[in-house]
């Protein structure tokens, strides 16, 4: 005797099932659309890559690399990692395919699952979904503003309003090393526990991101990167702010903004939604001017963002905004009898060919059961077809919201059903 086992999805890994999956698809597609309106071409990347790509690209001392990667040896003994983020893979592909030798900037958009072994909680998953863009090869503040405005427009096109955009500059390689020293000196002068002291040594900026109240208090007077920007980094940042202002994209300068990935330089930003609790970052990104060279490519700049699709869906829920129509179909067939059933199958084919979403009652249910299915389907109209209709060459159209019914010639059904198409 075999004992049957019920399986569940792995911990922290969401399924996307109807009807909620419609919202997921609507969010992903709206964000991708905002990117294609600005000329970003689609790139589809492998779900796993050489482990060293992420270690080098994302940063050896980041939480993502030290604690969160799904890394394993494949059957050939190579160390591979499920992609924790998209930017390193995009850079690898751009270099490998020589896109950086063509017209610049290279503008790319992508979407799909990413994998991080984090502690699962509301809005934090081990398989998360992102839509991202990267614009590579031109260091122009107007391009920074474009990237940020795409994310802003994507959110707004969904009807989302309760979010803010935090922005700062992390400086460039002419001012960051000096700032790092100043900050480190400040931090090492504080009364810190061993672990935090070690972090101050390895990655001092990360200490400014510490959420513990006593550390926040201790670091309240820490020197800020924004006060130590080089002339050119400052000019770049001011220009970005000017463009955003002209584009009507509101933002808040947050000099203590720290991102979890190490490749950022200059403009850095995060979209934060007020209604989400602890996991409030719905998207983030910035410039990464040293990344391509770090990965063996040319010395080219880049800027991009990653938006969390899951968190954007939660943000819409928090605002009670429905981004997707709830109806699975517009038209639902209710055949009465075998001949009507056969005819209904071809009618559905005609409706679908005309772009009308159509479904019918399968399984030989009686009229009552079939009408119940029609009501549940969310369709606007039911098509009522029985032997008498067939003999007369007609079909009944029932408005499901009002119960109103009329009879039309069978040959007109596509035009008639399409006519009720809102
Ligand atoms: P990130 O900030 O690590 O950036 O992730 C981007 C977004 O993905 C976050 O703002 C959040 O909405 C979502 N996200 C991250 N982790 C999780 C999780 N465990 N569960 C649910 N959602 C999550 C990047 O990944 C960069 N590659 C973005 C970028 C592109 N920077 C420049 N270009």
Q: Write down how long the chain is.
A: 422
Name the band, by pLDDT with cuts 50, 70 and 90, for residue 2: low
Mean of pLDDT over the chain: 95
Name the band, by pLDDT with cuts 50, 70 and 90, for residue 3: confident
Quick check: helix, strand or coil at residue 213? helix
The reply to whether ligand 1 has any atom less than 6 angstroms from the CB of 281 is yes
194 Cα: distance to centroid of ligand 1 (angstroms):
29
Cis geometry, peptide bond prior to residue 105 (ω within 30 degrees of 0)? yes
Element (H, E) at 346: helix 338-353
Domain boundaries, the chain: 20-175+229-318, 331-418
Element (H, E) at 186: helix 176-188
The reply to whether ligand 1 has any atom less than 6 angstroms from the CB of 84 is no
pLDDT for 421 beyond 90: no
70-129 pLDDT per residue, tens: 999 999 999 999 999 999 999 999 999 999 999 999 999 999 999 999 999 999 999 999
Q: What is the mean pLDDT of residues 46-53?
A: 98
Identify the CATH assignment for 20-175+229-318 out of 3.40.1360.10, 3.30.930.10, 3.30.413.10, 3.20.20.70: 3.30.930.10
Task: Name residues whose C-beta falls within 8 Å of residue 108's C-beta, 6 or more positions apart in sequence.
Answer: 40, 41, 42, 43, 90, 94, 133, 134, 135, 136
The reply to whether ligand 1 has any atom less than 6 angstroms from the CB of 285 is yes
The reply to whether ligand 1 has any atom less than 6 angstroms from the CB of 302 is no
pLDDT at 365: 80
**Architecture of the domain defined by 331-418:** 3-Layer(aba) Sandwich (3.40)
- Nearest residue CA, atom 21 of ligand 1? 124
283 Cα: distance to centroid of ligand 1 (angstroms):
6
> Among candidates 53, 45, 90, which has minimal Cα distance to 71?
53
The reply to whether ligand 1 has any atom less than 6 angstroms from the CB of 284 is yes
pLDDT over 90 for what percent of the chain? Answer: 91
Best of 263, 308, 313, 316 for a ligand 1 pocket test (most atoms within 8 Å of beta carbon): 308
Atom of ligand 1 nearest to the CA of 306: 28
Element (H, E) at 71: strand 70-73
The reply to whether ligand 1 has any atom less than 6 angstroms from the CB of 85 is yes
284 Cα: distance to centroid of ligand 1 (angstroms):
6
Atom of ligand 1 nearest to the CA of 118: 19
Atom of ligand 1 nearest to the CA of 304: 33
309 Cα: distance to centroid of ligand 1 (angstroms):
9
- Nearest residue CA, atom 15 of ligand 1? 308
Total-model pTM:
0.93
Between 91 and 364, name the one with better pLDDT.
91
37 Cα: distance to centroid of ligand 1 (angstroms):
22
- Nearest residue CA, atom 33 of ligand 1? 304
283-333 pLDDT per residue, tens: 999 999 999 999 999 999 999 999 999 999 999 999 999 888 766 799 999
- Nearest residue CA, atom 28 of ligand 1? 306
> Among candidates 244, 30, 58, 36, which has minimal Cα distance to 144?
244
Name the band, by pLDDT with cuts 50, 70 and 90, for residue 420: very low
The reply to whether ligand 1 has any atom less than 6 angstroms from the CB of 155 is no
- Nearest residue CA, atom 10 of ligand 1? 283
pLDDT at 1: 58
- Binding-site positions for L-histidine: 85-87, 116, 130, 134, 259, 263-264
113 Cα: distance to centroid of ligand 1 (angstroms):
11
- Binding-site positions: 85-87, 116, 130, 134, 259, 263-264
pLDDT at 327: 66
Best of 67, 125, 128, 268 for a ligand 1 pocket test (most atoms within 8 Å of beta carbon): 128
Handedness of CA 165, 168, 170, 171 (dihedral sign): positive
The string of DSSP codes covering 144-180 is: HHHHHHHHHHHHHHTT--SEEEEEEE---TTTHHHHH
241-259 pLDDT per residue, tens: 999 999 999 999 999 998 9
157-215 pLDDT per residue, tens: 999 999 999 999 999 999 999 999 999 999 999 999 999 999 999 989 989 988 899 99
136-167 pLDDT per residue, tens: 999 999 999 999 999 999 999 999 999 999 99
The reply to whether ligand 1 has any atom less than 6 angstroms from the CB of 118 is yes
């Amino acid at each position: 005797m075999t004992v049957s086992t019920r399986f569940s999805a792995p911990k922290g890994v969401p399924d996307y099932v109807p009807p909620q999956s419609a919202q997921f698809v609507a969010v992903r597609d709206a964000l991708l659309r905002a990117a294609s309106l600005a000329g970003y071409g689609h790139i589809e990347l492998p779900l796993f890559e050489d482990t060293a790509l992420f270690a080098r690209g994302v940063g050896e001392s980041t939480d993502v690399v030290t604690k969160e990667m799904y890394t394993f040896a494949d059957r050939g003994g190579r160390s591979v990692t499920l992609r924790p983020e998209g930017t390193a893979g995009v850079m690898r592909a751009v270099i490998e395919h020589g896109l950086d030798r063509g017209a610049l900037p290279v503008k790319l958009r992508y979407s799909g699952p990413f994998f991080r072994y984090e502690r699962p909680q509301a809005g934090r998953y081990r398989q998360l979904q992102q839509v991202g863009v990267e614009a590579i090869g031109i260091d122009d503040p107007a391009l920074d503003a474009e990237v940020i405005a795409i994310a802003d427009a994507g959110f707004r096109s969904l009807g989302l309003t309760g979010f803010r955009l935090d922005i700062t500059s992390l400086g460039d390689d002419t001012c960051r090393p000096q700032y790092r020293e100043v900050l480190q000196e400040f931090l090492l002068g504080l009364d810190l526990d061993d672990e935090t002291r070690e972090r101050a040594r390895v990655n001092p900026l990360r200490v400014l991101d510490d959420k513990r109240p006593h550390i926040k208090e201790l670091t309240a007077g820490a020197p800020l990167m924004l006060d130590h920007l080089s002339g050119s980094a400052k000019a770049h940042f001011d220009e970005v702010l000017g463009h955003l202002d002209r584009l009507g994209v509101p933002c808040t300068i947050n000099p203590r903004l720290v991102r979890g990935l190490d490749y950022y330089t200059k403009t850095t930003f995060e979209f934060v939604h007020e209604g989400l609790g602890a996991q409030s970052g719905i998207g983030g990104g910035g410039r990464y001017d040293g990344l391509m060279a770090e990965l063996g490519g040319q010395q080219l700049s880049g800027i991009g963002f990653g938006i969390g699709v899951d968190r954007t869906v939660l943000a819409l829920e928090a605002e009670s905004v429905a981004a997707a129509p709830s109806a699975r179909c517009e038209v639902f067939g209710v055949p009465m009898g075998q001949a009507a059933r056969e005819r209904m199958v071809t009618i559905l084919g005609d409706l679908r060919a005309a772009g009308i979403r159509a479904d019918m009652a399968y399984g030989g249910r009686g009229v009552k059961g079939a009408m119940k299915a029609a009501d549940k389907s969310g369709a606007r109209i039911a098509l009522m077809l029985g032997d008498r209709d067939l003999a007369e060459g007609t079909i009944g159209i029932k408005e499901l919201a009002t119960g109103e019914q009329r009879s039309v010639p069978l040959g007109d059904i596509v035009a008639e059903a399409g006519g009720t198409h809102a």
